[in-house]
A and B are shown apart, each in its own frame.
Chain A
Amino acid sequence: MHWTDEGVILSARPHGESSVIVELLTRDHGRHLGLVRGGRSRTQRPVLQPGNLVRAEWRARLDEHLGNFALEGLTLRAARLMEARASVFGLSWLSSLTRLLPERDPHPAVFETLGLVLDHLEDNEIAPALLIRFELAMLSELGFGLDLSSCAATGTSADLVWVSPKSGRAVSAMAGAPYADRLLKLPDFLVGSGGNAAPDDKDIDAGFQLTGFFLSRDVYEPRGIPVPDVRAAYIAAAAMV
């Protein structure tokens, strides 16, 4: 068994005294683990940091084996992202969230989106909005996608300002008015093709509340694990910048 692909490093944990088990999100082979012999060497350690883009060559005798990775760094983002509070919290959160994808199941759209978000994680003008979109994409890939294209009650695609916590569908201002206290706010920038390009702090806050609600209820609670603290740490750090 042998393939070559590009991948973003999600985690690297020591195995024995000199090797590392690396977890990648690859373009065509999904979330994939493999052993990197000598991964704890001085030359390999900087490459094997979460967020870095690598070219991966995977070899194993049988497909179900863990297999060995030979990795070559392509874009080493980790050192840059470690510098700022918001970007390092964001990187930890993205790695943690992406690990929820099933193993060896290709998700090329998530791979592309993850790369885009990581490339702009230092830019605090757009990073929070990108992260919210990534969370929405992850909800969708995990089978809990929100339908924000039209009103669940009236079918209209105009004036969508709420999301129903029950169905995960958008609700228009008029149809949702009687239930406003039970609905989640839908920020403008998530409606249709993007709405306002520069969401303000309130929009970002509403976006994170929206995705946070569904991530917690549909993804983390059924797994019996809490939403990692680093998500809240990122939101707080991004708000401070």
Chain B
Amino acid sequence: MPRAVAGPEIERLIQLLARLPGLGPRSARRAALHLIRKKDALLGPLADAFAKANESVRICSTCGNVDTSDPCTICSDQTRDASLLVVVEDVADLWALERAGAVNARYHVLGGTLSPLDGRGPEDLNLEGLVERASNPAVHEVILALNATVDGQTTAHYVTDVLASAGVKVTRLAHGVPVGGELDYLDEGTLSAAIRQRTPF
């Protein structure tokens, strides 16, 4: 076992950094050293930011997004189109759609997908709130922005069934050729979906 090169506080910092996505033990050690070298400019403010985020971060009771306020910034934004509701699997998907700026709508985070393999059923998803929100007469369309995976599409079809009682239009994202995609390199499944879902040009 390698000998510790620093005190327990620094070793603990390295251990915790190594748990972050994209960081292994070596890169965590480098990041820790960088933070220590920039103690005043980086380590102190980062520690403060971590503490404040830890105190104030919460799950939005309306949509399931993470934010420091409840309702979250998106749910409180009056400029968003209240007639559109975008259903996503995870907060990361919500952030991806917001980054793209493709839709000025409100969101609903399911918190996962149905997965019989992992024993995740409908009771594990944030579905009750979705039906309640979709039943609001102000909502005209629910967009199912779920992954094009078997679990994602199983969930999409299940959510469509659940929303049948809400009497709202349900749509889903198109499947097909991605931007920059060359047909020669696409898999047969994507190509077939693209052909089936072709649109007038």
Q: Name A's B-contacting residues (CB within 8 A).
A: 10-11, 13, 17, 43, 46-47, 49-52, 73, 76-83, 85, 88-89, 91-93, 95-96, 99, 225, 228-230, 233, 236-237
Contacts and interface: CB of A to CB of B under 8 A. Distances in A.
B158 interface: yes
A79 B175 contact: yes
Contacts of B21: 17
A99 B122 CA distance: 20
What 9 A-B pairs come out closest when comparing CB atoms? A79-B189, A228-B116, A96-B116, A46-B187, A82-B153, A85-B157, A76-B189, A50-B150, A230-B116
Interface in B1-24: 21-22
B154 interface: yes
Contact of A79 (B121, B151, B160, B190): B190
Contact of A49 (B119, B121, B149, B161): B149
Interface of B is mostly: helix
Contacts of B154: 88-89, 91-92, 230
Contacts of B148: 79, 82
Interface in B126-152: 148-151
Contacts of B117: 10-11, 95-96, 99
A91 B187 contact: no
28 contacts: A43-B185, A46-B190, A47-B187, A50-B150, A73-B187, A76-B187, A78-B150, A79-B148, A79-B175, A79-B187, A79-B188, A81-B150, A82-B175, A85-B157, A85-B160, A85-B161, A88-B150, A88-B153, A88-B154, A89-B154, A89-B157, A92-B116, A99-B117, A225-B119, A228-B116, A229-B116, A229-B121, A230-B116
Given A17-B21, A229-B116, 15 more contacts: A17-B22, A43-B187, A46-B189, A49-B150, A76-B187, A79-B187, A79-B189, A80-B189, A83-B196, A88-B157, A91-B150, A92-B154, A228-B119, A229-B114, A237-B161
Nearest to B185: A43
B193 interface: yes
Interface residues of B, number: 28
Interface of B: 21-22, 114, 116-119, 121-122, 148-151, 153-154, 157-158, 160-161, 175, 185, 187-190, 192-193, 196
Contacts of A237: 157, 161
Contacts of A96: 116-117
Nearest to B193: A79
A126 B87 CA distance: 34
A134 B154 CA distance: 20
Interface-centre pick from A51, A95, A236 (highest chain B CB count, 10 A): A95
A78 B175 CA distance: 13
A225 B120 CA distance: 12
Contacts of A89: 154, 157
Contacts of A49: 149-150, 189
Contacts of A13: 118
Contacts of A50: 150
Contacts of B114: 92, 229-230
A17 B187 CA distance: 22
A47 B189 CA distance: 9
Nearest to B121: A229
A31 to B, nearest CB: 12
A79 B116 contact: no
A76 B122 contact: no
A218 B22 CA distance: 45
